Structures are given as C-alpha cells and as structure tokens.
Amino acid sequence: MTPIQIIDLQKSFGQQKVLDGIRLDVAENETLAVLGRSGTGKSVLLKLLIGLQTADSGSICIRGKAIANLPVLELNEIRKHIGFLFQQSALYDSLTLEQNVVFPMTRHSRAPEKEHVERARELLSSLGMSKEFGKLPSQISGGMQKRVGLARALALDPEILLFDEPTSGLDPITASEISNLILDLKKTRRMTGIVVTHDLRGARIFADRVVLLEKGKIVADGKLSDVQRSQEPFVREFMQDANQVAL
C-alpha cells in the first residue's frame, strides 16, 4: 500500500492560495525532497500530512487511510507512525534533552520508564549526542537541537519521517552532517520520507526524487538529475540559483 498519497490538495489562507491541486505519491522507502521558493506552501504541505492543519479540499491518504475529518484518537493512531522534525526543532524547553525524547515514548508504551530512558539515550548517542542527556534545549547549539529533534521524531519507531527544513540556519558542515544523518536513516531504517528543503546540496545526498513547487503547483517531478536538465524556464532558473548557493 502506498505510504503517502495526495490527491488534488487545495489550501488557502484568506485570498492567498497556497496549495493548488497537488497530486503526489511517495513510494515505500523513498525519500522525496520538496523544493521551492519561500512561501510556496512546502511547510504547509507537511503540516497537512500530519493533520496539524486541514485542507480546503482534496485528500491525503496515509497507508490507504484518508486523514481528513478523522477523530483525534484515530488521527493520533496514524501520527504514531509518522515522525516530524520541525524547522526550529520545537524541543520542549522545560524538559531536558533526554526527557524530550522520552516524552512521546511514555505516552504510547507501558514499558517501564527505565527502558524508555535507555532507548532515548541510545537514540541520542546514535545521533552523536552522548554527553548532553541532562542539558536543557537552551544550553545547546542549533545543530544539536536538530539532532535531538530527530531523536524525538524517531522515538516511536515511525515508518514515515517528515523533515521541515532540516538544514536551515546551520553552517555548511553541520548542514552536511544532518543531510548524511538523513541518508543513514534511509539506509538503516528503510523509512519513507519527505524533506522540505532549500538545500540542493543536501537533496543530492539523500533524495531519491525531487518535486519543485511554485505558486502552489508542482512544476517539476523526478530524479534530481532529470529536474536539473529541465528546459522549463522557472525550473532552470531555480536550479541555477540553487546550484550557485550550493557551490
């Protein structure tokens, strides 16, 4: 069953149409990079996928189940299978890093808390955060916060991962580390993922396929190399500019 299926999705904020008839399928174990200029609805697309916002029309199916109008309890059952890394990490600022990762575990599993703590430490260590368990989010750098956010997104062993600008605001080295982490996750966990990004260099590392959004529509869809060869004026211009930034 297709993990993610989007059919004729429409979303407006007031008079501004943000998504206009998006149709998109994401295959099993595929990592899709969603590219586009700021304000083209990329982050909105991710929030619609996890039910944080509701679409005006169209449908989103996660493993064949339409999420529109689902009661909260049923929607939460689907959400347990989806991990979400927020653009600003969105870590709970009153909890330590370890508690941030343990938080979703304790609410969805009856295992003893000690097991959750061990698992959280394993996850944090696997993402290069083995010494900072007891620190608060405000005491670590932006790159570290992304790693903790990623550990929290992985806490429930999701089958689908959604990344909202995972490398934005990071220096090139840290951005590259995060991109490689996404690639590692793809290889080791064989997860399906959607990555919203401006970072073409990152997309080259982890994406099996890219789509380019402009004015709420998909204007290019395919392998990155194919999209880069597109003769469509906007696609060419975007790719040239994105390449220059990536260089």
Partner 1 sequence: MLDLIKAALAWFGELALFCARLVKAAVTPPYEWREFLRQCDAIGAESLPLVALAGAATGVVLSLETRDTLVHFGAKSFLPAIIVFSMIKESGPIITGLVVSGRAGAGIGAQIGSMKVTEQIDAMEASAVDPYKYLAATRVLACMLMLPLLTIAANFFGILMGWIANTLAEPISLRLFLNAGFKEVAFSDYLPPIVKTCIFGAIIGLIACFQGMRTSGGTEGVGRTATSSVVLSSLFVILADVAIVRLTSAIWPNF
- Candidates 19, 29, 88; CA nearest to 60 is 19
Judged by CB under 8 A, does residue 77 bind partner 1?
Answer: yes
Given 9, 11, 55, 84, the residue binding partner 1 (CB under 8 A)? 84
Given 23, 107, 190, 223, the residue binding partner 1 (CB under 8 A)? 107
Choose the stretch contacting partner 1; rule: CB under 8 A; options: 90-98, 174-182, 218-226, 232-240.
90-98
Judged by CB under 8 A, does residue 204 bind partner 1?
Answer: no
Residue 66 bridge partners (DSSP): 61
Given 21, 37, 63, 103, the residue binding partner 1 (CB under 8 A)? 103
Choose the stretch contacting partner 1; rule: CB under 8 A; options: 86-94, 123-131, 176-184, 237-245.
86-94
| Per-residue tokens: 19 | 């998504």
Judged by CB under 8 A, does residue 104 bind partner 1?
Answer: yes
Judged by CB under 8 A, does residue 76 bind partner 1?
Answer: yes
Q: Which is nearer to partner 1, 84 or 238 (CB)?
A: 84
- CA–CA separation, 185 vs 54, rounded Å? 29
> What's the closest the beta carbon of residue 241 comes to partner 1, in angstroms?
28
Given 119, 152, 186, 209, the residue binding partner 1 (CB under 8 A)? 152
Catalogue the E-assigned strands of the chain: 4-13, 16-26, 31-36, 57-62, 65-66, 82-85, 160-164, 192-196, 209-214, 217-222
Q: Which is nearer to partner 1, 189 or 201 (CB)?
A: 189
- The answer to whether the CB of 126 falls within 8 A of the CB of 155 is no
- Candidates 91, 117, 89, 121; CA nearest to 105 is 117
Helix (H) / strand (E) containing 112: none
DSSP conformation class of 40:
S
Judged by CB under 8 A, does residue 108 bind partner 1?
Answer: yes
Phi first, then psi, for residue 62 (nearest 5°) are -105, 115
Q: Where along the sequence are the contacts to partner 1 (CB under 8 A)? A: 47, 50-52, 72, 76-77, 79-80, 82, 84, 86-88, 90-93, 103-104, 107-108, 152, 155-156
